Structure 1
């Protein structure tokens, strides 16, 4: 059965793992047609495959088995004697992997310490490594809005990451999952930014991972050709990185020069995926749009990284996607607004003026005014259909020197 799950594509997986199937599995457990241990093993593998496919659904949360597992986790944790640690870990992993972030807090207060203990193991044997590889994707699915004490997780996850950076012992999915878990916590603890940015070097590490992942994908495949299983896994992990950084650029406020390298890598992936992988190329543009919207990334970084060139390239394409166009227009609205905001700091004001002039020359050279004028009649369509903040005044898209 596990081999069958491995072979399923995203759509097949979604059609098979339904609420009805999971409720049927519970009935089979109660009728003693299948043992609980085999069920947990099967569903845990299914949850891990869901992470590998970047596919989540609410079918498990809405099933009766979800409630059964919640009760079992709480019951096992309360045992003072004869506690079955392996069963508790298996239940926590299964529950977290199959959930879609709406894990209720009493269970989370058990799951997080339990899985962090597993994830922080450093023994070199194969069995321990498999446990770590399962625990981290499960942790990455813990609700971003669930607030937990900083000392509950920071040291463990930080040491896990530092150990990997030194020994390269984790799979690419598990390493990305560790970062995703930490990014989710940053929503509550702004003081974590120094750890994320300066100690663990999030942008540098993400840029390195993206480079390695993209190098193992054949971007030049023709439209009808399918990617092999290994390429598909790389694509999914690459997608998870880009999605995570879209959230990160929105929430983080600590600037760092390493962002230029990361943005450059996203630009390279956009160019490689353009015309071959619509999902990834859209994600890249949306990530650049988010980066343009907040002060964590300077406009100078967008210039140096080639982000502005990439967005202009997209607008100059003969056939345009609506999502991409909306993202591109929002990008230039953000850049224009930021370049027209004067800074009190003398050095930053001088940098703004230089960036503004460079931006003006680039837009003029690429015929940006003609592009925006050409889109002017369709802005209302984007406002209505995308609920976006595009300006109907064409002059708002220009950077006036």
Structure 2
């Protein structure tokens, strides 16, 4: 009964917050600029606590049209509109919401026009306004035009390079880099538009620690998204040391998380922020494993940090555990990560543990079979180089002994009957031959 009353109270709070938000919004056009600002600051606080359903009930086509109309009729200043919309976009990205109304709205077209016009001004350009407009535009858009990208990317990278260490500047840099990280990975633009600046941002942080944790992760995500078309970007491995940096960040976040909470138990604001950071880093690691083509000695350490995170989250956070599994499976699929790296990093142990669970859902079972199929396939490929062939044989023997010790052959054989079912369910390339999952010497 008490639990039911708590749920009812929580829903009443949410409803009350949404109603207050709508009340404040409807009164915006009847206020002067200072009063508008106060109302918007309160609206932003309410928005921080909204869930997906509440967000979708508030930010509708009608609302974006009303904001556009108030701007056009000069009932809402562009500065106050930005104060609201930038926070909407910031929380939208943080909470992984997506609003389909913005991209085709008149408000979006108005922002595009303003960015282009502001960029054309050669003297007395309002740099802050241009940065604000670019941030709003990228945070609220799933895609952008080539013309707008060519303006927004250099503008925001420059804003992120500010050396001022004030809290306000750190927040500004965080929003600029978060906006850049929201640019779709399938959007190609030339290296000269971004590479030197994002490299400088990352290197400067590595030396001076001037970025927030989210800002630093966002800088990496922006760069890693470019990897989709530029998979030979040697700077990621050779100069910026992604493996080392990602491992360090994952280890720190893993230590800071409260893993004693039961799965589904409500987190406070700081805990939710740390969970969000872990999820973003894991997804960035996935992109790295999928698209990088350059092996480096930092890979075992990165894999080991993901394994540590998996063990910490096991039985506590299913979302993070599953993301660890996906990242490690992607690592096994690509030659950039050696089987030796998977062995040393503890990835093989993780998949053996998953397969020995009393209950294994279809999705994770599929990932496990993919992982061992890839490991087996790669260990069977002979190397032309004599030294590398000797290393392959040694790794194969070590892997065989570990699998034999854990009773792997009996375990994988017991699952044989569901291979075809999973192959059809996930439209994957699972082999129906049991020998393709075995490591024989």
> Could you say whether these structures have the same fold, taking a TM-score greater than 0.5 normalized by the shorter chain as the test?
yes
Q: Structure 1: how far apart are the matches of 2:279 and 2:309?
A: 10
Pair 1:257 & 2:297 matched: yes
1:46 equivalent among 64, 79, 88: 88
Q: From the superposition, tell whether residues 293 and 57 of structure 1 become closer, same or farther in structure 2 (CA, over 3 Å).
A: farther
Does residue 182 of the first structure (1) align with residue 223 of the second (2)? Answer: yes
Find the structure with the greater CA-based Rg: 2
Please name the residue that 1:87 is paired with.
129
Q: 1:23 aligns with which of 65, 86, 96?
A: 65
Please give the alpha-carbon distance, in whole angstroms, between the structure 2 residues aligned to 1:210 and 1:10: 27
Match of 1:320 among 343, 360, 363: 360
Equivalent position of 1:206 in the other structure: 246
What is the Cα deviation at residue 81 of structure 1? 4.0
How many Å separate the matches in 1 of 2:185 and 2:150?
A: 14
Once the two structures are superposed, residues 181-203 of structure 1 have per-residue CA deviations (whole angstroms, 9 ceiling, x without a partner) of 1112233334422x211211111
Return 5+ residue gaps in structure 2 as ranges.
1-42
Distance 2:63 2:221 in 1: 30
The TM-score with structure 2 as length reference comes to: 0.86
CA shift, 1:224, in A, is 4.7
Measured after TM superposition, the shift of residue 142 of structure 1 is: 1.8
- CA distance 1:275–1:339, shift in 2 (3 Å): same
Deviations 1:237-283 (A, max 9, x none): 11011111111111111111111111011111111222221111111
| Cα 1:199–1:34 shift into 2, 3 Å | same
Q: Residues 215, 21 of structure 1: CA spacing in aligned structure 2 closer, same or farther, 3 A cutoff?
A: farther
Pair 393,11 (structure 1): closer, same or farther in 2 beyond 3 Å: farther
Pick one of 300, 306, 322 that aligns with 1:282: 322
User: How many Å separate the matches in 2 of 1:222 and 1:143?
Assistant: 35
Distance 1:378 1:240 in 2: 32
Q: What residue in structure 2 maps to residue 223 of structure 1?
A: 263
Q: Is the 8 A contact 2:170 2:212 kept in 1?
A: no
CA contact (8 A) 1:116 1:157 kept: yes
For residues 381 and 92 of structure 1, do their structure 2 counterparts lie closer, same or farther at Cα, with a shift above 3 Å needed?
Answer: same
Alpha-carbon distance in 1 for matches of 2:388, 2:330: 22
Structure 2 partner of 1:129: 170
Counterparts of 1:145 and 1:44, CA distance in 2: 24
Measure the CA separation in 1 of the matches of 2:148 and 2:95. Answer: 25
Per-residue deviation at 1:13? 3.4
Q: How many residues align?
A: 399
After the TM superposition, which of the residue ranges 310-319 and 120-129 deviates more from structure 2? 120-129
The secondary structure found in structure 1 opposite 2:233 is helix
Q: Would the aligned equivalents of 1:282 and 1:323 in 2 still touch at CA under 8 Å?
A: no
Aligned to 1:77: 119
Equivalent in the alignment of 1:302: 342
Task: Answer 1 or 2: higher relative contact order, Cα 8 Å, separation at least 6.
Answer: 1
Conserved? CA contact 1:214–1:235, under 8 Å: no
> Which residue number in structure 1 is paired with residue 418 of structure 2?
378
Give the drift of 1:82.
4.3
- Pairing of 1:349-364 with structure 2 (within 5 A): 349-364=389-404
Equivalent residue runs for 1:97-112 within 5 Å: 97-100=139-142, 102-112=143-153
Aligned-partner SS, 2:251: helix
Work out the CA distance in 2 between the residues paired with 1:371 and 1:237.
35
**Superposed displacement of residue 300, structure 1:** 0.3
Q: What is the distance in 2 between the residues matched to 1:10 and 1:213?
A: 25
Q: How far apart are the structure 2 equivalents of 1:116 and 1:287?
A: 28
Which residue number in structure 1 is paired with residue 11 of structure 2? none
Counterparts of 1:297 and 1:306, CA distance in 2: 13
Aligned residue runs from structure 1 range 332-371, under 5 A: 332-371=372-411
State the distance in 2 between where 1:223 and 1:159 align: 40
Contact 1:53 1:233 in 2 (8 A): no
How far the C-alpha of 1:325 sits from its partner, in A, is 1.3
Aligned mates of 2:60, 2:348 — CA distance in 1: 43
Q: Distance in 1 between matches of 2:153 and 2:339?
A: 38
Segments of 5+ residues of structure 1 without an aligned counterpart are none
Moved more, 231-240 or 27-36: 27-36
Checking the alignment, whether the CA contact within 8 Å between 2:138 and 2:180 is kept in structure 1 is yes
2:187 to 122, 133, 146: 146
SS in 2 for 1:390: coil
